Chain A
Amino acid sequence: MSYLAITELQKHYDNYHALRGINLSITEGEFVVFVGPSGCGKSTLLRTIAGLESSTGGTIELDGRDITELASSKRDLAMVFQSYALYPHMTVADNLSFALRLAKVSDAEIQEKVRSVSASLQLDALLERKPKELSGGQRQRVAIGRAIVRQPKVFLFDEPLSNLDAALRVQMRLELARLHKKLGTTMIYVTHDQVEAMTLADRVVILNAGQIEQVGTPLELYRQPNSRFVAEFIGTPKMNLIAANKLVRHEDSLAIDLLGQNIMFPVNRLKGPLPESVIVGIRPEHMTLVDQGGDISGRIELVEHLGSEAYAHIQLSSDQTIIVKAPARSELKDGQEVSINIDVSEVILFNESDRVISVIPEEA
């Protein structure tokens, strides 16, 4: 039974169709992340759920109640904004208790709730300060505390970490994950950062041009993308895509001509009709560099040393550049000729319309 059900949700602006029929159901206690490139409609979707934008079609149901036309104050949702949106002239304590005071909760109860929330977010010492006297991370915690104190049915986060520096972002990400574990409340989180999406989410919703591209656990999306868009969006560095048009079908394998060399793809992993040509998708970590005798070969254009690993940008004979993950201290030099082995069991095939035509076997 879904807790938050979104059915055929539409949003039209004057001359822009922002949401094109969103269908999504979220169970109670789930951490769902909306991710996608800028302008894909993820923030619009969140703001429509929050009631800050009105929908132009479809319904939103929360806990068995239709909230599509309800004012945002009556939806029992709390939102954390990108700019934190703290009330600048109120102290931290007043910021935390604002919603409770508006709801005419008794003073004793307000004090108790503010105390417990500020303790759990380490804000005790800051209660009398104004927002401008706080650091970015502290402001972020106040914004989260302001949402928690109301004990809403669903938390909405609108790119909450994008204003923080990299180190703090990692730390706050961890705190959010802990918070979700502790509270067990349903959370919806919008980000353009796929690392945040992968690390935080129970389920990730990938949006593209106002439509849901794929919904799944982070690993599902990584291992079994539905489309080329998802495959390219998830994973850093991006998945390598090489076009191949000479396909020969053998009894239990498909020979794919990759730049003059055949790789054998197991037939039982194919689904749907076999097209004329395919696009072969291989992630950088599923290829290895060998001295010779590999599946394809090329010349190193550039090596990026990241310390724990290195990424070699390799120019193939077709002039296309692919990225291959290499061990950290490999003695790779620019301009060196290398040969590359491909792990066929991790290869993903796409047809001309960018849909996936291969499946990853369960046991793999």
Chain B
Amino acid sequence: MKRSITRLLMAPSVIMLLVWMIIPLSMTIYFSTIRYNLLYPGQNNFVGWMNFEFFITDPGFIPAVSNTLILLLSVLIITVVLGVMLSALIDKPFFGQGIVRVLLISPFFIMPTVNALIWKNMMMNPVYGIFAWISESLGFEPIDWLSSYPLMSVIIMVSWQWLPFAILVFVTALQSQDTEQKEAAQMDGATGWHIFRYLTIPHLARPIAVVVMIETIFLLAVFAEIFVSTGGGPGYDSTNLAYLIYNQALLQYDVGVASAGGLFAVLLANIVAFFLIRAVGKNLTV
């Protein structure tokens, strides 16, 4: 009796959430099995696996998948390693600690499009960018980052955006580290490095796992930075899956192939999440 009432009361929200998820998913599945090109309206016949075949044999497919994974892993490594080091560095009280923390965290509040514009026009521009000015004043040729190292430029931008998130999580985690444990280690003859290696890193295992998981979700779908800065180019050098799908759907007007790509992206995300979370969970959680 009591159970059925609770179920009844919960039903609306459960149904709502289910519908919320099911409708877009089933529509995507449906679109991926029909011919659906906006340039040829009305010819929406069933084509089976053909859209998937088109997507996978697209010349942009292999680069897009590898770019997605390279982008994901590089940004994860950069943000976690730098994040741990920086937060350990600013954990001890020093003059201006509050301001330094705010400055370190503020890039997170800048929206991705603006972030990409800043890097594109102020930092990496070969004529009036700061990097160009630095290399010129040191007597080197300025580098055109966006066309010479497109994927690396995107990695730099996205890392700059996500490093604050990692720092935010790690700084709070470090504050919960027991000072008596550190003092005990000190009495046991541990140096600062020993304490960092044997106490702080294991203490940060869970926060690192959390950062890796959350960043993975967002980094698989990086789009704005690429769209604003390199436009996926030159060629497919900085195209990732999200950008390739956009390319199919809105530049080639092929909703069917784009839907197939979307489903492939869901698959890829699950595979990555499976391996990553298992690896992180196994090696790092206490």
Contacts and interface: CB of A to CB of B under 8 A. Distances in A.
Interface of A: 50, 52, 71-74, 77-79, 81-83, 85-90, 98-99, 102-103, 130, 146, 150
A90 B205 CA distance: 13
B188 A150 contact: yes
Contacts of B188: 73, 78, 98-99, 102, 146, 150
B184 A102 contact: no
Nearest to A143: B184
Q: Is the interface of A mostly helix, strand, loop or mixed?
A: loop
Contact of A73 (B180, B189, B199, B205): B189
A81 B183 contact: yes
Given A81-B180, A82-B180, A87 B198 contact: yes
A188 B181 CA distance: 20
A78 B187 CA distance: 6
B190 interface: yes
B184 to A, nearest CB: 4
B224 interface: no
A69 to B, nearest CB: 15
Contacts of A83: 178, 180
Contacts of B194: 102
B19 to A, nearest CB: 43
A73 B181 contact: no
B121 interface: no
B189 A103 contact: yes
A50 B286 contact: no
Nearest to B184: A85
A89 B186 contact: no
A89 B286 contact: yes
A98 B198 contact: yes
Interface in B163-202: 178, 180-181, 183-191, 194, 198-199, 202
Contact of A98 (B183, B185, B286): B185
Contact of B187 (A72, A82, A103, A130): A72
B186 A73 contact: yes
Interface in B141-167: none
A89 B202 contact: yes
B187 A87 contact: no
A346 to B, nearest CB: 43
Given A72-B186, A85-B178, 19 more contacts: A50-B183, A50-B187, A52-B187, A71-B186, A73-B186, A77-B187, A78-B188, A79-B187, A81-B183, A82-B180, A83-B180, A85-B184, A86-B181, A87-B181, A87-B185, A88-B286, A98-B185, A146-B184, A146-B188
Nearest to B188: A99
A85 B180 contact: yes
Nearest to A99: B188
Interface residues of B, number: 19
Nearest to B181: A85
B191 to A, nearest CB: 8
B192 to A, nearest CB: 11
10 contacts: A52-B187, A72-B183, A73-B189, A73-B191, A78-B188, A83-B178, A85-B178, A87-B199, A88-B202, A88-B203
Contacts of B186: 52, 71-73
Interface in B88-135: none
A117 B189 CA distance: 19
Contacts of A146: 184, 188
A236 to B, nearest CB: 30
Given A85-B180, A88-B286, A102 B190 contact: yes
Which of B183, B188, B286 is most buried by chain A, counting CB atoms within 10 A of its CB?
A: B188
A296 B278 CA distance: 80
Contacts of B189: 73-74, 99, 102-103
A78 B194 CA distance: 18
Contacts of B180: 81-83, 85
B190 A81 contact: no
A73 to B, nearest CB: 4
A83 B183 CA distance: 12
B83 to A, nearest CB: 20
Contacts of B198: 87, 90, 98
Contacts of A81: 180, 183-184
Contact of A85 (B183, B203, B286): B183
Nearest to B201: A89
Contacts of B178: 83, 85
A87 B177 CA distance: 11
A149 B185 CA distance: 14
A74 B187 CA distance: 8
Nearest to B179: A85
Contacts of A86: 181, 184
Contacts of B181: 85-88
Contacts of A72: 183, 186-187
B56 to A, nearest CB: 44
Contacts of A103: 189
Contacts of A130: 286
A59 to B, nearest CB: 20
A37 B7 CA distance: 57
